[in-house]
Chains A and B, each alone.
Chain A
């Protein structure tokens, strides 16, 4: 049967003769104003709570603004002293003297990068292995999922520097404890991020592989990994960036890298050494940030095709 299509119900007034009912409009206006007022009140309440929390936590942590103001001069004068060599000359006037320890520092800087690199790779491999049992959509048993998730939580909750301290006691000074500490923390952080990527995959290919008789490993290999690999790479690169910063302070507890020299220079008031090492670190981190960012964009760009 064919029915005619009416844009406007037959009998309804055409739009041109639209005449509002004043009472009804007033009622609608009132309801709108109430809704806006309620939203505004909630916002004001939110701001008050926020301010209260800041004041309370400042008070509890003994943040003393007067003290900060009185001693800020110490800080600026420290920064100033970083710019001068022991003989009183401005650092840029004698770069060779400023960077007298460059070969030693470069060696330590490379060691720092290697700690970050190896730690990231080991952590990424372990995180990869653990992300599948931790993903809600692939899990075989609730117990397995819970155990893996708690383990990953433990790995990323304990700060790296704490792990490093423990491993220095166990394995002695040097880069090994640093690598282990970073690897464990990275396992926890990447395992969690990877499992979230896995939870967001399209499950249709999974059904397709299961239905043709694939086992769990084959399902992961063919239906899951192709969907997540570029994201995994991207997160790993991001983690490497973070780990370079983490590795730079591993030396504070004797776990290898340039951190130990930095800490010593600070303690012994070798001002120009502190600035030399800091600038080396800043430049390195900057270069690595740019390089990994480019790599990640290239990955995303390739995905678009």
Chain B
């Protein structure tokens, strides 16, 4: 159980995340929605401790995550793997090495710096890549891949961390529709087959409704909605997204993009 208690993070005078209290049950697929600037990325970065909180606590299975430092902090980070909108791979390293960086918290500094990965770790990395249909790219440089492929490598890196939780920050925002489906399906499999808890920031309400068991709506750093996809009425959506509401909802109501284009032609 991941419990977030009164979590606040200020940048200067502005509170990016403001007094957020949440409970995430193990095995859930939780979608965090809200317009850009709502504080979704900051919330995920706070959980992974890429950003330190101004106030409040994060407690996971009785451990106060906000108090961790040193080796314990690095193990926590490995426990809640993160994937990013821009993939955040190291472009000049090959795909398998990128995946193996997911093992860094668990191998000695000397061995890792010399890239002396154990056979077991290599097997683990290749298995993760294979699960995402990326094993044949293992020796290629990461920056030679397409966005969708890079995101799958990033998911493989997350998997070899053997995480309890996977934090995904708008994982499909830089991808085309086909890759969007490939990546979201992969996350769903990881959630259902491996039982890894997923906390996923999404801009599109449509996708959030389709993939998530539970939605958390944020606006101005606060949680303003919690519930199932169908609990999210148009009124609430309009409150969450303001002027952007049209963009994120129309598809969900069957007024597909094609229909709109036909209308304007």
- Residues in A lying within 8 Å of B, measured CB to CB: 2, 204-205, 207-215, 217-218, 221-223, 226-227
Contact = CB atoms under 8 A, between A and B. Distances in A.
Which DSSP category, helix, strand, loop or mixed, fits chain A's interface?
Answer: helix
Contact of B50 (A210, A214, A222, A227): A210
Contacts of A226: 90-93
Interface stretch (B11-19, B97-105, B125-133, B184-192): B97-105
A217 to B, nearest CB: 5
Contacts of A2: 260, 263-264
B81 interface: yes
B76 to A, nearest CB: 8
B90 A213 contact: no
B86 interface: yes
A212 B102 contact: yes
A266 to B, nearest CB: 50
5 tightest Cβ-Cβ pairs between the two chains A and B: A213-B105, A208-B88, A213-B78, A211-B82, A214-B104
23 contacts: A2-B264, A205-B88, A207-B50, A207-B88, A208-B82, A208-B101, A208-B154, A209-B90, A210-B50, A210-B77, A211-B88, A212-B81, A212-B104, A212-B157, A212-B161, A213-B75, A213-B161, A218-B109, A222-B93, A222-B97, A226-B90, A226-B92, A227-B92
Interface residues of B, number: 34
A208 B167 CA distance: 12
B33 interface: no
Nearest to A4: B264
Nearest to B262: A2
Given A212-B157, A214-B74, A205 B91 contact: yes
Given A204-B88, A205-B88, A217 B74 contact: no
Given A2-B263, A208-B84, A217-B109, A222 B104 contact: yes
A223 B90 contact: yes
Contact of B101 (A204, A207, A217, A222): A222
A207 B104 contact: no
Contact of B78 (A204, A212, A221): A212
B112 A204 contact: no
Interface string B241-265: 0000000000000000000100110
B89 interface: yes
Nearest to B74: A213
Contacts of A214: 74, 101, 104-105
A205 B84 CA distance: 10
A209 B101 contact: yes
Nearest to B161: A212
A286 to B, nearest CB: 34
Contacts of B104: 209, 212-215, 218, 222
Contacts of B87: 204, 208
A226 B97 CA distance: 12
